[in-house]
């Protein structure tokens, strides 16, 4: 699918934020759900924010509930390599799950600095299972494919039922989803972005620097056109 000029500029901006070694290896890799970095600005910016947050946190333990083909796993390792070259050197353990329902049970409570939940679908079961594993000052990053059901007005596949759809789908994000995810996690939304198929949220009790999110739009693709203008 060809991008328009604005989307392409935003995409290129994200590419410039990622390590060349990572792009050389993974730019054309197709994920388990068909996503490819070489033509998807949301996938690029997910990786940019993953990379920045990992560099900032300097974590000991990262938990990925839906590891897929290991693209984000490798990026987390690259972020840690940069940290090793500083006085903040730490050994990093990445728990990459391929059957999270069973594997998460083996993870000690209060042991994870960063948890990344990135399912093809809805995240609520994984949130409930992994939340006890997060340290008090840890960071939780969650993708939710429920956005596609909202955009397409498919109420039977929505967890948070809504009358918003299409051009008004962004209101579901603001009015329903963000307050709900703060309520069920007890964490504060530090940043989010929405694409017509996905909402990605970064949550924590600690206040994260705004610079971690610089350049990233909250509303991507055609959603940007309608935010604040539709009733």
Evaluate if pTM is beyond 0.85: yes
Q: What are 125-170's pLDDT values in tens digits? A: 999 999 999 999 999 999 999 999 999 999 999 999 999 999 999 9
As a whole number of angstroms, the distance between CA 196 and CA 198 comes to 6
In the predicted model, is pLDDT for residue 172 greater than 60?
yes
Stronger pLDDT, 78 or 205, i.e. the higher one: 205
Locate the domains of the chain by residue range.
Answer: 5-226
> Could you tell me the pLDDT band of residue 90, with boundaries at 50, 70 and 90?
low
Q: What are 202-217's pLDDT values in tens digits? A: 999 999 999 999 999 9
> Could you tell me the pLDDT band of residue 123, with boundaries at 50, 70 and 90?
very high
Q: What are 145-157's pLDDT values in tens digits? A: 999 999 999 999 9
> Any idea which architecture 5-226 has in CATH?
3-Layer(aba) Sandwich (3.40)
């Amino acid at each position: 699918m060809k991008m328009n000029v604005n989307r392409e500029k935003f995409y290129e901006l994200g590419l410039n934020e990622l390590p060349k070694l990572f792009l050389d290896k993974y730019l054309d890799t197709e994920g388990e759900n068909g996503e490819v970095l070489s033509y998807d600005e949301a996938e690029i910016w997910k990786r940019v924010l993953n990379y920045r947050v990992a560099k900032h946190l300097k974590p000991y333990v990262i938990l990925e509930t839906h590891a897929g083909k290991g693209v984000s796993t490798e990026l987390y390792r690259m972020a840690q390599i940069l940290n090793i070259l500083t006085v903040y050197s730490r050994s990093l353990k990445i728990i990459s799950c391929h059957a999270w329902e069973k594997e998460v049970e083996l993870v000690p409570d209060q042991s994870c600095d960063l948890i990344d939940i990135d399912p093809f679908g809805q995240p609520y079961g994984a949130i409930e299972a992994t939340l006890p594993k997060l340290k008090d000052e840890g960071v939780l990053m969650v993708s939710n494919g429920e956005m596609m059901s909202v955009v397409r007005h498919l109420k039977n596949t929505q967890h948070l039922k809504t009358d918003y759809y299409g051009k008004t789908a962004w209101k579901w994000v603001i009015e329903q989803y963000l307050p709900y995810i703060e309520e069920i996690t007890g964490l504060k939304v530090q940043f989010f972005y929405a694409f017509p198929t996905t909402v990605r949220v970064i949550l924590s009790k600690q206040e994260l620097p705004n610079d971690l999110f610089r350049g990233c739009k909250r509303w991507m693709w055609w959603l940007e056109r309608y935010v604040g203008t539709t009733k």
